């Protein structure tokens, strides 16, 4: 674990050096990222402009839900998205061989090699937006609620990461499926709406979407003191199980991997 931490810190320094060199690219990407966050808020405002309650959620609660989505999705984009974008090219061009030869866990290296610093402003803006809404609407959140919120958000990140890695592992058999990332982005977008919105869909669709939706809905409910233990148990158990399955599935796929040299 200490070795992996030192390696990760070294990768952070390398990515930060690249960020300093290409500062123009940073500001351009940061503006685009902030634009997506603003678009999420505007789209939610358009959705709730003529109603006071949607699926049991007030206008303020839905706006806070949008802010929480921007925080969790933003953190995911900072630490993982760039790595998943590179995976199809690494596998398709045979560069995975070099990764496997390195004396470090291949899944770890493929997951944390790149860090997207330009997305930090989006996360900071979303955090300020959440605090502004809580303060202006006199919503008090206790210290324990914040701890609970952070824990569930981290497990939500773990769930997102595990699902993405499981799907990207399929590239070891079908390396030309480069549009898998687009599909996963669409699935991830379902999390920015309340869980109750999907309950009237078909049974199988609801079961499939439930873990993704809970990653955002549940931490938001914690801030209002409405989180249920059953929902918390679902996200905790599912995220841990999917993480270990992603490791197992990756090792299984590597046993059937045909390297570029063979």
Domain ranges, ordered by start, for the chain = 2-255
pTM reported for the whole predicted model: 0.85
109 pLDDT more than 70: yes
* Residue predicted with more confidence, 238 or 30: 238
Note the pLDDT tens digit of each residue in 217-257.
888 888 888 877 777 888 888 899 999 999 999 999 988 87
Residues 19-46 have a mean pLDDT of: 70
* Residue predicted with more confidence, 77 or 192: 77
Whole-number average pLDDT of the chain:
82
Residues 65-81 have a mean pLDDT of: 90
SS3 annotation, the chain: CHHHHHHHHHHHHHHHHHHHHCHHHHHHHHHHHHHHHHHHHHHHHHHHCCCCEECCEEHHHHHHHHHHHHHHHHHHHHHHHHHHHHHHHHHHCCCHHHHHHCCCCHHHHHHHCCCCHHHHHHHHHHHHHHHHHHHHCCCCCCHHHHHHHHHHHHHHHHHHHHHHHHHHHHHHCCCCCCCHHHHHHHHHHHHHCCHHHHCCCCHHHHHHHHHHHHHHHHHHHHHHCCCCHHHHHHHHHHHHHHHHHHHHHHHHHHHCCCCCCC
* Residue predicted with more confidence, 108 or 118: 108
pLDDT at 139: 86
């Amino acid at each position: 674990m200490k070795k992996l931490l030192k390696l990760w810190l070294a990768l952070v320094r390398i990515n930060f050096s690249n960020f300093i060199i290409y500062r123009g690219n940073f500001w351009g990407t940061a503006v685009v990222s902030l634009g997506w966050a603003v678009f999420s808020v505007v789209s939610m405002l358009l959705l709730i402009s003529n109603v006071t309650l949607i699926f049991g959620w007030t206008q303020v609660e839905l706006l806070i839900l949008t802010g929480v989505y921007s925080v969790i999705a933003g953190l995911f984009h900072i630490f993982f998205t760039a790595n998943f974008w590179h995976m199809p090219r690494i596998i398709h061009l045979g560069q995975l061989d070099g990764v496997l030869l390195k004396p470090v866990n291949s899944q770890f290296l493929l997951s944390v090699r790149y860090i997207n610093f330009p997305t930090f402003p989006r996360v900071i803006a979303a955090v300020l937006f959440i605090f502004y809404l809580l303060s202006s609407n006199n919503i008090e959140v206790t210290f324990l609620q914040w701890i609970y919120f952070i824990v569930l958000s981290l497990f939500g990140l773990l769930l997102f990461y595990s699902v993405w890695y499981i799907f990207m592992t399929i590239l070891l058999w079908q390396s030309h499926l480069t549009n898998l990332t687009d599909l996963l982005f669409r699935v991830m977008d379902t999390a920015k709406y309340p869980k109750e919105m999907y309950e009237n869909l078909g049974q199988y669709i609801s079961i499939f979407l439930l873990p993704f939706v809970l990653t955002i809905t549940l931490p938001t409910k914690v801030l209002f003191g409405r989180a249920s233990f059953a929902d918390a148990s679902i996200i905790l158990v599912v995220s841990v199980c999917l993480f270990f399955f992603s490791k197992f599935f990756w090792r299984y796929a590597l046993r059937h991997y045909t390297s570029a040299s063979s």
